[in-house]
Chains A and B, each alone.
Chain A
């Protein structure tokens, strides 16, 4: 013991000599500088919230324990049972957020996902809807898309996530924080006309009456944005100039969507999957050769009505689409009985008339497990008017219904006061919870208030109903 102590003293005195006698002042200055840089690197990934949480999280990741183990991909071996999380969360208020790749860096920055997940958990969120399908590209490893387009994952993502795809990372970090991860097929049937899917399979695209495949902005009115300008496209991370629509009635398109869903629920430990208003057929569409032939076959050779809003024509297409929804639901439940089939549509009348999304029927047939209705309104009266509608009230008797609240976009910033009023109103109407669109406008520079103030406000808003 004594000899060890002596050698330690010798070592210290030797290094003290080296440091004091042989180091130049510049080298001495480098010591605190190196420590400073090390601190920067450690804090770098925490981005905007320098605290010890990240270091702790990393230590936990490096040394899995019984209570904090990385969930494996195989559902059968999953330590966290999706049913448990789903039921636990359905007993309390659903607090969800959508995470997209559009106008967002979260998927592209290496620290983006851990940071987002950690902050969301800290703020008492319990559900995340991360994008997995957008602009004809996937944000998880998809063999189906690899076969069809040559890219198993969005090319930029493969560069920034060389070892682990964003969905796997989201699940690993999210489950550690007890968050529900429900992959969101954001684009549904919508694809850029310049994408490989659209150019290699033009027969998969549906068409308007004039034969055009292009989606008009008017097709996405309601909750959607106005015409995209050059600046907005720039800010929108290279949003495509022209969009088309895969024909949801086409068997090969249905196979594609089914395959993508199957990949997600069978290869990843998810709590469910979610589609939104893009999981639809805009009412202008349906005049493509396949759909017309199908219509003629069932209507003694008659052509579809010229008016796209013809009630029978709307009903026929909506019913055809609903058949596919039923099939897809059965496939999901056959593969993963505990997975939720979540839908985030527009309010019912709008969804049916403009998107042929007859979600009332889907709910009535028990195909939908959870509904998150997008009520993106600025005026509180209009917002509350939607909440009070009979359809929503009756749906609440069957399944959990939460309200999608817009927290802003880069072009449409929304004050926290408006968000607070809408959350309070949703609670007053006894909905199951709220989901915010989208992560980047919860608390960032792209909000009217400072990020810190915004976080403080959300903390207070979500703290008064503990989970």
Chain B
């Protein structure tokens, strides 16, 4: 039995469902090269921005981080993502290109707001507990919360340019929930072995890698949809 003989019935079965799903959510094919460039740029620059932010923001346990550190870190991440969007849409959609700076403003305000609400700069924070179960649980809860908060701020920035931009809010929440839980879990395991706090930093680097990669997929999907009729640039 050849591979095509094996896969054909499966694909035939899945295709109508996928087509229906795509129609329902207004999804369409993304140009591979453009999509891959945006994803790679987004993922790489977001992660590098986090690493760069460690020069200015000290990773700490909950309540250790200040508003300034939250704004600094968020600003750097937002700056990197803004530049990615600018570059990606320079030759393409002028609508996105002209309004991409809003993303950075939203990121700064989002992180600042979250710090004010005592959630803190979660992306630079390690949990106080060493228990791996609680780390995962709190990672999902806090990650989901912060992801939703950031998602709302960023949705406000893109809602007029991007079709069905509200989808970004649950997507961001889910991505942060999974990524922070993963990072805290890895950080906890490493810390148990090494007895060094640097383990938490490594865990957060993994978390940010996951956030960057997953949110990159989401961004590619979102930004390559048809703009809304009410779309306007600033």
Question: Is A bound to B?
Answer: yes
Contact A410 B79 (CB under 8 A): no
* B98 contacts A by Cβ under 8 Å: yes
Contact B101 A29 (CB under 8 A): yes
* A447 contacts B by Cβ under 8 Å: yes
Q: Which chain A residues in 414-467 approach chain B with CB under 8 Å? A: 444-453
Contact A446 B101 (CB under 8 A): no
Contact A25 B197 (CB under 8 A): no
Identify A450's interface contact among B60, B68, B75, CB under 8 A.
B60
Output the least CB separation between A445 and chain B (Å): 4
A8: which B residues are within 8 A, CB to CB?
Answer: none
Among A41-49, A155-163, A271-279, which stretch is in contact with chain B?
A41-49
A450: which B residues are within 8 A, CB to CB?
Answer: 59-61, 64, 126, 197, 200
B contact residues, total (Cβ < 8 Å)? 31
B234: which A residues are within 8 A, CB to CB?
Answer: 25
Q: How far is the CA of A382 from the CA of B196 in the complex (A)?
A: 25
Q: Which chain B residues in 71-102 approach chain A with CB under 8 Å? A: 72, 75-76, 79, 98-99, 101
* A26 contacts B by Cβ under 8 Å: yes
Contact A36 B75 (CB under 8 A): yes
Identify A50's interface contact among B60, B72, B79, CB under 8 A.
B72
B10: which A residues are within 8 A, CB to CB?
Answer: none
* B175 contacts A by Cβ under 8 Å: no
Contact B61 A410 (CB under 8 A): no
Output the least CB separation between B87 and chain A (Å): 13
Q: How far is the CA of A177 from the CA of B201 in the complex (A)?
A: 32
Contact B197 A40 (CB under 8 A): no
Output the least CB separation between A83 and chain B (Å): 38
Q: How far is the CA of A47 from the CA of B69 in the complex (A)?
A: 11
Contact B61 A448 (CB under 8 A): no
Q: Which chain A residues in 18-39 approach chain B with CB under 8 Å? A: 25-26, 29, 33, 36, 39
Q: How far is the CA of A449 from the CA of B61 in the complex (A)?
A: 9
* Contact bitstring A45-57, B, C-beta under 8 A = 1, else 0: 0011110000000
Q: How far is the CA of A413 from the CA of B193 in the complex (A)?
A: 11
Contact B61 A452 (CB under 8 A): yes
Q: How far is the CA of A48 from the CA of B58 in the complex (A)?
A: 5
Contact A413 B195 (CB under 8 A): yes
Contact B196 A448 (CB under 8 A): yes
Q: How far is the CA of A194 from the CA of B92 in the complex (A)?
A: 58
* A36-B75, A47-B56 given; A25·B196 CB < 8 A: no
Output the least CB separation between A414 and chain B (Å): 9
* B55 contacts A by Cβ under 8 Å: yes
Contact B197 A446 (CB under 8 A): yes
B68: which A residues are within 8 A, CB to CB?
Answer: 50
Contact B197 A50 (CB under 8 A): no
* Contact bitstring B154-197, A, C-beta under 8 A = 1, else 0: 00000000000000000000000000000000000000001111
* A29-B104, A450-B126 given; A50·B196 CB < 8 A: no
Output the least CB separation between A34 and chain B (Å): 12
27 A-B contact pairs sorted by A residue (CB < 8 Å): A25-B101, A25-B234, A26-B98, A29-B104, A29-B105, A33-B79, A47-B55, A48-B56, A48-B57, A48-B58, A50-B56, A50-B66, A50-B72, A445-B196, A445-B197, A445-B198, A446-B197, A446-B198, A448-B196, A449-B197, A450-B59, A450-B60, A450-B64, A450-B197, A451-B197, A452-B60, A452-B61
- Interface residue ranges, B against A (CB under 8 Å): 55-61, 64, 66, 68-69, 72, 75-76, 79, 98-99, 101, 104-105, 108, 126, 194-198, 200-201, 233-234
